[in-house]
Amino acid sequence: MLRKVLSPRSLLWLSLIVVLIVLAPIASTQTTLSRPPLPPDRVPPGYQFPVVKPTPQKTPTQRLGNAEVRSVSPGILSVNGHKCISDEIVVKFFEDTPDAMINNLIGRYGGKIVQWIYGPYQHWYLVRFPAGAKIWEIADAYNDDPSVECAGLSWIGEGGMIPNDYYYSQQWNLSKINAPAAWDLTQGSASTIIAVIDSGVDLSHLDLVNKILSCGSDICDFIDDDSTPNDQHGHGTLVSGIVAAETNNSIGVASLGWNPKILPVRLLDGNNFGISPDVVAGINYAVAKGAHVLNLSLHGFEYDPNTRNAITNAISNGRIVIGITGNNGAASYPGSYPNVIAVGASDENDNQASFSNSGSFIAVVAPGVNILSTYPGGYTAAEV
């Protein structure tokens, strides 16, 4: 099996990701307020709501009175470009608000409580209004009332972006890191160049051919000293697919970075071996060609001042350098050089991969066991 670790630039996106937990509502058909008990089937065993209540204060809201509103379809409105249910508002009253005051405010605009929303203090309600009600204006009016902590529309959202690639359902690593949520933020830029400094790449692979940058007449294959870095081992192609395979194209696999380009740099031979002078040359070449990210899936080297100098120069010029932890039980170079983002590997159960080192030099751990990706002539699942 191939034993290396990938940390594509796209993993950095994940620090921006916020996981949203939507609290499910509980139905209630009463037109006047009667506080229901906590539904036992919706309360986790042994769970208690916080005893310490927050100091009552208004939750900041966005005024909607001057919103751009249009009908999208029956029951659906677009408010400032975002879809919502056309006749619903979610309201939270302050804890000590009397029932009569709540009923009065709800009825003032023809509203009807249709659901009690699961949450602390039992004061969250879904309120429905007659057809044609200007719910955006009613939401503003509710927020102006001193008994209301916050009120908002019943917005419509959707889950993370899911690509249509044939093998996507088998790529456990993408769901594990919540890649669909990252793709909602960005699929990467087509102007971003990721240098895969490895064993080369399958230059004719259907899932990669449109993403690979040509070396032109430059030498980017430091094994054969030519400009055609064809992969004779497989790992470089595997990494390239994880990083930036063509995605949402109905074939093959999905990648973390849908749009970035791949700059292949070959310095490992068919037996997966290379020498430090070629590592230095490969790093310098990637920097000279404008690569933004340098992925060095290499380990087993001793400390080398020349390699360190090349990496320091790359980082000083604004490049992101990714290394791997290795599997020899000790600090591994080039992953252990200062300011290199060293990546360890984990399995599907979030356990440390058997082939992955541990240590204080490791910056992040990513899925690295049984990873399905591109491979010369097709696809395979392997350790990376």
List the domain boundaries for the chain: 9-14+178-382, 21-35+58-155
CB-based contacts of 281, cutoff 8 Å, min separation 6:
222, 267
Q: Between vectors from CA 52 to CA 46 and to CA 55, what angle results, nearest 5°? A: 145
For residues 158 and 244, which has the higher predicted lDDT (pLDDT)? 244
Longest Cα separation, the chain:
84
User: What average pLDDT does this structure show over 20-46?
Assistant: 37
Token pair 């005893």 is found at: 51
pLDDT of amino acid 332:
80
Q: Domain 9-14+178-382 in CATH: superfamily?
A: Peptidase S8/S53 domain (3.40.50.200)
Is 18 exposed, middle or buried, given 0-12, 13-18 or 19+ CB atoms closer than 10 A?
Answer: exposed
Mean of the per-residue pLDDT values of the chain: 84
pLDDT of amino acid 25:
30
pLDDT of amino acid 95:
83
User: Band of the pLDDT at 13, cuts 50, 70, 90?
Assistant: very low
pLDDT at 6 over 60: no
Summarised one tens digit per residue, pLDDT across range 177-236 is: 999 989 988 999 999 999 999 999 999 999 999 999 999 999 999 999 999 999 999 999
Residue 241 to residue 206: CA distance in whole angstroms: 11
Q: Tell me the two tokens of residue 248.
A: 């949402």
**Rounded percentage of the chain residues whose pLDDT exceeds 90:** 65
CB distance 131 to 110 below 8 Å: no
Among the residue ranges 146-160, 297-311, 367-381, the one predicted with the least confidence is 146-160
pLDDT of amino acid 369:
95
Among the residue ranges 48-57, 130-139, 264-273, 282-291, the one predicted with the least confidence is 48-57
Q: What are 90's strand-pairing partners?
A: 126, 152
The CB density around residue 125, as the number of other CB atoms within 10 Å, is 22
CB distance 99 to 147 below 8 Å: no
Cis amide bond preceding 8, omega within 30: no
pTM of the model: 0.66
pLDDT of amino acid 3:
38
Summarised one tens digit per residue, pLDDT across range 289-323 is: 999 999 998 988 888 999 999 999 999 999 999 99
pLDDT of amino acid 308:
95
Selection from 166, 188, 95 nearest residue 372 by Cα: 166
User: Band of the pLDDT at 243, cuts 50, 70, 90?
Assistant: very high
pLDDT at 175 over 90: yes
pLDDT at 35 over 80: no
pLDDT of amino acid 40:
43
pLDDT at 99 over 90: no
Residue 330 to residue 309: CA distance in whole angstroms: 22
Token pair 């032109």 is found at: 216
CA 256 to chain centre: 9
pLDDT of amino acid 213:
98
Selection from 23, 96, 93 nearest residue 111 by Cα: 93
User: Band of the pLDDT at 64, cuts 50, 70, 90?
Assistant: confident
